[in-house]
Structures are given as structure tokens and as C-alpha cells.
Structure 1
Amino acid sequence: MGRRATSVIEARAAAATSAVSLTGVTKVYGRGSEAVHALRGVDADIRRGSFTAVMGPSGSGKSTFLHCAAGLDRPTDGRVELAGTDIATLSETKLTKLRRTRVGFVFQAFNLVGSLTAEQNVTLPLRLAGERPDKKWVREVLGRVGLADRAKHRPAQLSGGQQQRVAIARALVTRPDVLFADEPTGALDTRTGREVLALLRQVVDGYGHTVVMVTHDPVAASYADRVVFLADGRLVDTLDAPTAEAVADRMIHMEG
């Protein structure tokens, strides 16, 4: 077998095991002297069925990394493959459809609709896409996040942790390739935050989903399989099987 054929096979094998792949991704906001380089030639590979935490000092490019990886923003240069698709090749309409059907989002703010029940909030992405919710699947997803008995409750009747569980169920209901979480425990107390992190861990271990989480908290990062560290828009380090102590130590050295 020739070298070219071998490289093609290897590339296909890598694509089959990757949920998200960033190659030479650069993101620049503004022009000329006002230009801000949020990302500078970032290469990263997020494997299917893994839990990855993204960390770095303030202004390191964490949120831009997530936005580019999730298709919320297009890179200035480089390539992003999401769910096996090069997002640069997609029109805005097709990119919107990809995000709606193949990607789930969880944010620090729960972003629930107060007038809707938990179940109605979970099915909202499907309804917006013009799809008829599968009631059995919706019940299963609510059960996965421990809210089977809260389906008819509105957000005001739920605790903060329960509201974030609704948000996670809403992110999972479309059976996404990747769930992106941006500081998902930022608005929660320590105990509730750890319950949500344990749930995200279960989403990966129990159901095979892929989770990418931006966080500033070493304890939160310790729930991940791998931590990638950004500084000044560059990916500068990675840590497998992280502990909170090891993550904190890396962050201290980065900020020192």
C-alpha cells in the first residue's frame, strides 16, 4: 500500500473517532491596529465519547474556542470539522441546521422559558425545528437527568440545579454529536455544581455522549478526561486524567 493511500486511511480513521477537530484555527476580531487575535493557529482533536475541559486565564480565548468549535462563529483561518462536516463549506442555513440537530448547548444562565414546563422547555428545540417530539424519548431524557417527577413543573418551581438539569436535557433531546457547556456551574453553589458535573460525567460514561466544557474551576475540570489549556489564543498544554490539584498547579504556572 502506498504512502498516500495509507495517509487517506489514517485520516478517515481519525475522522471516525473525532467529534470535533480544529486545524490551524485562527480568529481575528477587527482590523489593522484594532485587530484582536482571539485564537492563533489552534490544533485540537476532541474524541467521540470523551469529556474535555477547556481552561486558561481570562482573555486566553476559551469562549472563542468553544464558539468556533461549536459552529457559533466561523474562524478567520483554519479548519473546523464538526460531526464529520467541514463547517466552512456550509451556508448559514445549513450551519444553523447542523447546530440545531447535531450540537447541544448548556450555558451558565439556564435560558429557560418561564411560562413553559420542564418538559416543554426540553422539547422546544424540536418544535423550533418543526419536528414532532417523541414522547417516550423526552421522558427518557428527563429520567436521565433525574427529573422524571418534575416534568410538569415550571422553572420558578425548580431549584437552580434542577433548572440546569432541564437545560442539559434540552441539549440532549436532539441526540447531539457534541454537548458544549460554557461555565455550566457558574451560577450554582458548590454542592449543586458538583451534582451537575457528576451528571455531565454520567452523560459521557453512561450514554456515550461527547462533552466539551469551558470552565475556570479546577474542581470542575477534574471531572473531565482531558484538560486543554489556552493562553494568549494558543493551545499551550494538555493534561490527561486530571486532578483538581494538578489543574490548579498548571493554572498557577500559566498565570505566574
Structure 2
Amino acid sequence: MVELDAVTRRFPNGVTALDAVTVAFPAGTFTAVMGPSGSGKSTLLQCAAGLDRPTAGRVTLAGQDLTGLSERRLTLLRRDRIGFVFQAFNLLPALTARQNVGLPLRLAGRRPGQGTVDRALTAVGLLDRAGHRPHELSGGQQQRVAIARALVTGPAVLFADEPTGALDRATGRDVLRLLRTLVDAHHQTIVMVTHDPVAAAAADRVLFLTDGRIAGSLDTPTADAVAASMTGLGAAAEVAA
């Protein structure tokens, strides 16, 4: 679904955030991206999602090469083919859950059909809370609304940046179970940046970055195995320093 081919992102200050990264995120899979602070996790997510342009290399999303697209075409692609979930829920407080979920369709100039919005709310288990405003919902429910909003356009891929970072452990696990269900039951493709081994263990694969390069991967991860790998990356970084 998403492919990065020798992607490098170098900033004007000379920092190389990504260094010739080649990786594929197959359709219908759940990948967690981990690494120390400054390893390039967020830059990888931004390049893969068309939010940032690589200095070199190529990004392909659902067969579409993003390299030469104009800003307008990139905007349209992000609007129609990509969903985003962040640590902050970013819900509009004056709108109900149903209205928040339908907002991407309205911004695209499309009238959100109640059936479309209700299907997204049903997918996250919140149809019965459709008329509630954010302050009437728990943190976990607000994140579920944010996930429904990301799903309402039927995205090819869902990018999540620390989606459980603002939640307590029990609520975070509920959200992770939801993401897992979206992959298993609906064949959704998910790429998630996280620092939490427990969150990463919900994925099919964990991709480890360090110094802008892929440092390894772990299939069918457990929280203990992820934590051990992260500890190893930290130790290697200290030796290199």
C-alpha cells in the first residue's frame, strides 16, 4: 500500500532525518514504527503520508507516485486516500461526535450522508454517543471519534502518531484493540509511530529506526521483545557515541 524507495530527507540545517530508507507497508497490515528521540520516526510518517517531500528517493501510495505531484494534487490525495490520528484528539468542541466525524466530507465539499457517518461511528463502537459533544465523552471515546473521523472517507491507509499517548493504560489498550480490529476485520492498513512497547505489540510488525536508518524489524512482536530491542538500540547508540 505504501512504499519508500531510498528516501532521504535532509534539512537546511544539515540534519539528515532519513538516510536512504527503503521499506514497504503492505495492504491490510499494522506496522508500528519505533526508535529513540530524533531517530526519524515522525519524518518517515510525514514523508510516507505526503506531508513532507523527501530530498531524494520516491514514495508510492496505493500505486500513486507522490514525487512529482503538485501541492494541490498532494492535498487532494491526502484528503481522499489518507486518514490521520494524532495524540491530540483535535475535535471541535461545539460539534457533536456525528458532526465531527462528518467534517472531512464537508471540507471536501461533499454533504456527509448519515449512513456514511454512522457506519464510521459503528466501526468504533460509538453510534450510541453520536449526539454527544467532546466534553461529554471520555478521553478514550474522544480518540475513537477521531479515528472514526479518519475513517469516514474510506482511506487507503491510516497514519497514527502516538494515538494512545494522551490516554491511561486501560483506555489506551481499548484503542489499540480497536485498531487491531480495523486491520483484522476491515483490512485497513495502519502505520503507527509509538514509544510504547505495549502499543507496538498490537502491530503485525515493528520497524526500528536509529539515526534516520532502519535498524531492524520484529514480526509478531510481544511487549517484552519490543522493550528488549529498544534497550539494545539505546545501548548501541551509547557505544557509538
Distance in 2 between the 1:45 and 1:134 partners?
34
Q: Which residues of structure 2 form unaligned runs of 5+?
A: 236-241
Distance in 1 between the 2:5 and 2:66 partners?
12
Task: Report the AA paired with residue 115 of structure 2.
Answer: K
SS in 2 for 1:180: strand
Equivalent positions of 1:108-127 (< 5 A) are 108-127=87-106
Equivalent positions of 1:5-20 (< 5 A) are 19-20=1-2
SS in 2 for 1:140: helix
Task: Report the AA paired with residue 158 of structure 1.
Answer: L
| 1:166 CA drift (Å) | 0.3
Q: Does 1:146 align with 2:128?
A: no
Task: Report the AA paired with residue 101 of structure 2.
Answer: V
- Quote the residue 1:201 is aligned against: 180
| 1:134 CA drift (Å) | 2.4
SS in 1 for 2:18: strand
- Quote the residue 2:3 is aligned against: 21
Residue number among 55, 69, 75 corresponding to 1:96 in the alignment:
75
Structure 1: 4+ residue segments shifted above 3 A: none
Q: Does 1:242 align with 2:221?
A: yes
RMSD: 0.6
SS in 2 for 1:88: coil
- Quote the residue 2:134 is aligned against: 155
Task: Report the AA paired with residue 251 of structure 1.
Answer: M
Equivalent positions of 1:50-69 (< 5 A) are 50-69=29-48
TM-score using structure 1 length: 0.91
Distance in 1 between the 2:113 and 2:68 partners?
31
- Quote the residue 2:209 is aligned against: 230
Deviations 1:61-85 (A, max 9, x none): 0000000001110101000001211
Distance in 2 between the 1:129 and 1:171 partners?
13
**Count of residue correspondences:** 235
Q: Which residues of structure 1 form unaligned runs of 5+?
A: 1-18
Task: Report the AA paired with residue 133 of structure 1.
Answer: P
Distance in 1 between the 2:2 and 2:208 partners?
17
Task: Report the AA paired with residue 28 of structure 1.
Answer: R
SS in 1 for 2:67: helix
